[in-house]
Amino acid sequence: MIHNFKKLRVVGMFLTCLFSLGILGTTASAQIDLAALAEVDPDYADMIAAHVEQGVDYAFDFFTVSMLWTVIAAAMVFLMHLGFATLETGLTQQKNAVNVLFKNVFIISIGIVSYAVIGFNTHYPGGPDDWNGWIGFGGWIGDLNADPENVTYAYGGLELAMTAYGDFIFQAMFAATGATIVSGAVAERIKLPSFMIFATVFVALAYPIIGSWHWGEGWLNRLEVPFYDFAGSSVVHAFGGFGALACVMILGPRAGKYLAGGKIRPIPAHSFPLATIGVFLLAFGWFGFNGGSVLSAEPAALGLVFTTTALAASSGALSSIFFSWAVIKKPDLSMALNGVLAGLVGITAGADAVGPGAAILIGFIAGAIVVFSILFFDKIKIDDPVGAISVHGVCGIWGTVAVGIFNSEVSLFSQIIGTISVSIAAFAAAFVIFYIIKLTIGVRVSADEEAEGLDLSEHGEEAYADFQMKTR
């Protein structure tokens, strides 16, 4: 097929003029003129004909635009992984930068491949009658376009305005997020192979199984008033945050972080520009994360979701700036950045289900929570270099509960049940996986390696090997 002369995939409404009775006069009725289409593009006409035979009368253009949005949103969510990579790298020490970047390249890669191999079909095991609502293992996706039903709007009996591949790729971009959240929390002292094994199991099995309780029509959807988590405050973010908590508890704090006498030594970020790039890219991608979760290009929902997402992020930042300034007496950039993310995590569960006023309030409360949560975890010696447990875990719970508060059709009780179940399950899964790894190959680098930095000890590379500077 020639690139620029490729058959045009035009379909749809070819107008055929017909004269009705003289009484009625001339009128043009729209229909898919399959004969005319077949001349232009026989393959396409066949596909449409097959659909029509199956009784699929669908609005092709709405389906097309919704599918386009799905794949664009998938690309935006992909960019969030660069956001995570730069945020984590920026907030940690220079001597571990290569290691953090390497982990992030690995996570998104194994995430996408494993989601094709097992994750997707485990995440969505079928309709409510097909499985027990707790675990329904699935396998390799196969060539989804081979089945013509998979390129119609309601593929697989689902009423989705996307093809099966569209569904897959959008969800695949989400899958690695859980492991990425953990990556930040365990940075600077974890053994690389141990993390790689953990991430693989966590993303390939724990994420789709626990996620299926809600998105796969599992038991959380069978509550009297179903659990509501629009784009994943719980099933993505709290999942990652409480998985991170389990790993940090097993791993212990970085050397020299908590000194004798309860003194906390701050370990400074090595590059705030890098961290800021990360947060802005995450916010940009979040418009795809939440916006794409509309699962179509329905205008009313899209406008609302973009607005609530932007307002919550903004108000989260303002709130974190305010509260951190009040508490630690200075305008702290890392708190402002965490405030943006806190607002985003907070609005994720209800971005389509609350109005702009509630969005500002949800973001504002999330921005306050994250400041105090970060200080709290530091006080109890849970060493989380990037604040992932607070941002994703604690604010993920808040966001889920908030939908129950601000939307009267959602049950606060179901929300609490759901978010606590998901958080506990993520914690337990991470604990078990990580503990087994600890017992076998170990999870922590030696004190010498930690002091030298993982870049040299694990990778034999430095992040800025050639950087040569004038001295002050």
Within 65-94, the residues that bind a second copy by CB under 8 A are 65-69, 71-72, 74-76, 78-79, 81-82, 85-86, 89-90, 93-94
- Considering only residues 375 to 404 of the shown chain, the ones binding a second copy according to CB under 8 A are none
Helix (H, G, I), strand (E, B) or coil at 14: strand
Please pick, from the candidates 264, 333, 375, 420, the single residue that binds a second copy as defined by CB under 8 A.
333
Q: Does 31 bind a second copy (CB under 8 A)?
A: yes
Taking the complex as a whole, the smallest distance from the CB of residue 249 to a second copy amounts, in Å, to 25
With binding defined as CB under 8 A, does residue 18 bind a second copy? yes
Interface residue with a second copy, options 302, 342, 362, 395 (CB under 8 A): 302
What's the per-residue H, E or C state across 147-212?
CHHHHCCCHHHCCCCCCHHHHHHHHHHHHCHHHHHHHHHCCCCECHHHHHHHHHHHHHHHHHHHHH
Beta carbon nearer to a second copy, 435 or 452: 452
Cα separation of 375 and 384, whole Å? Answer: 11
Buried b (16+ CB within 10 A) or exposed e, 166-175: bbbbbbbbbb
Asked if 447 touches a second copy (CB under 8 A), the answer is no
Q: How many residues belong to the site for a second copy (CB under 8 A)?
A: 181
Does position 5 bind a second copy by CB under 8 A?
yes
Helix axes 60-91, 272-292, angle to 10 degrees: 160
Our finding on whether 50 is near a second copy (CB under 8 A) is: no
Question: Residue 418 in contact with residue 229, Cβ under 8 Å?
Answer: yes
Q: Which of residues 100-159 bind a second copy (CB under 8 A)?
A: 101-102, 104-106, 108-113, 116, 124, 127, 140-146, 151, 153-154, 158-159
Among 177, 180, 194, 296, binds a second copy (CB under 8 A): 296
- Nearest approach in angstroms of CB 121 to a second copy is 12
Does 223 participate in binding a second copy (rule CB under 8 A)? no
> Residue 435 or 459: which CB sits closer to a second copy?
459
If one asks whether residue 49 binds a second copy (CB under 8 A), the answer comes out as: no
Residues 190 to 219 in contact with a second copy, rule: CB under 8 A: 192, 214-217
Q: Which is nearer to a second copy, 242 or 287 (CB)?
A: 287
User: Which one-letter DSSP state was computed for residue 118?
Assistant: I
How many Å is the Cα radius of gyration of the chain? 25
Amino acid letter at 277?
Answer: I
- SS3 of residue 264 by DSSP: strand
**Phi first, then psi: what are they for 31, rounded to 5°?**
-160, 170
45 touches a second copy by CB under 8 A = no
**Binding of a second copy at residue 322 (CB under 8 A)?**
no
> Shortest distance, CB of residue 65 to a second copy, whole angstroms?
5
Query: What amino acid occupies position 376?
Result: F
58, 13 contact by CB (below 8 A): no
In contact, 36 and 15? CB cutoff 8 Å: no
Phi and psi based region of residue 2 (left: phi greater than 0; alpha: psi -120 to 50; beta: remaining): beta
284 interacts with a second copy by CB under 8 A: yes
- Determine if 16 is a binding residue for a second copy (CB under 8 A): yes
Binding-site member from 22, 27, 224, 448 for a second copy (CB under 8 A): 27
